[in-house]
């Protein structure tokens, strides 16, 4: 967050059976991803990601501090362990006015479909 403008807005969907007492670890000083990998011992998570461009509604515009009906980049990411067991799901939204992405596509063998 620079000059009070958020970089992104993220929503995590975490199974309570894997992340008991998560609320005890959440602070403004540490990311949820770091808590998941270090506190709950899920290092080296893999992910399947779908990237899309969406029109921003009033609610998301307020959060991202952008204009309604502008464009946001949306990431739907399913994180799983080395055994391909899903661990958690995350939605991330970035204002397309302030951010861009570069995606290197290598092919099916690298998990790209």
Q: Please give the Cα distance from 58 to 63 (Å, whole number).
A: 9
The full length of the chain comes to 113
Q: Please give the Cα distance from 112 to 56 (Å, whole number).
A: 27
Task: Supply the pLDDT for residue 90.
Answer: 96
List the domain boundaries for the chain: 9-18+45-99
What does the pLDDT look like over 39-90, one tens digit per residue?
Answer: 999 888 888 999 999 999 999 999 999 999 999 999 999 999 888 899 999 9
* pLDDT category of residue 5 using cuts at 50, 70 and 90: confident
Q: How confident is the prediction for the chain on average, in pLDDT?
A: 88
Q: Please give the Cα distance from 20 to 71 (Å, whole number).
A: 36
User: In this predicted model, which residue has the larger pLDDT, 11 or 44?
Assistant: 11
């Amino acid at each position: 967050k620079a000059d009070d403008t958020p970089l992104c807005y993220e929503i995590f969907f975490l199974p309570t059976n894997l992340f008991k007492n998560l609320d005890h670890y959440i602070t403004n000083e540490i990311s949820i991803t770091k808590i998941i990998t270090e506190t709950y011992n899920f290092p080296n998570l893999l992910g399947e990601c779908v990237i899309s461009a969406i029109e921003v509604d009033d609610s998301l515009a307020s959060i991202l501090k952008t204009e309604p009906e502008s464009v946001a980049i949306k990431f739907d990411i399913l994180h799983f362990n080395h055994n391909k067991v899903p661990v958690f799901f995350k939605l991330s939204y970035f204002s397309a006015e302030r951010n861009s992405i570069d995606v290197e596509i290598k092919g099916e063998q690298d998990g790209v479909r």
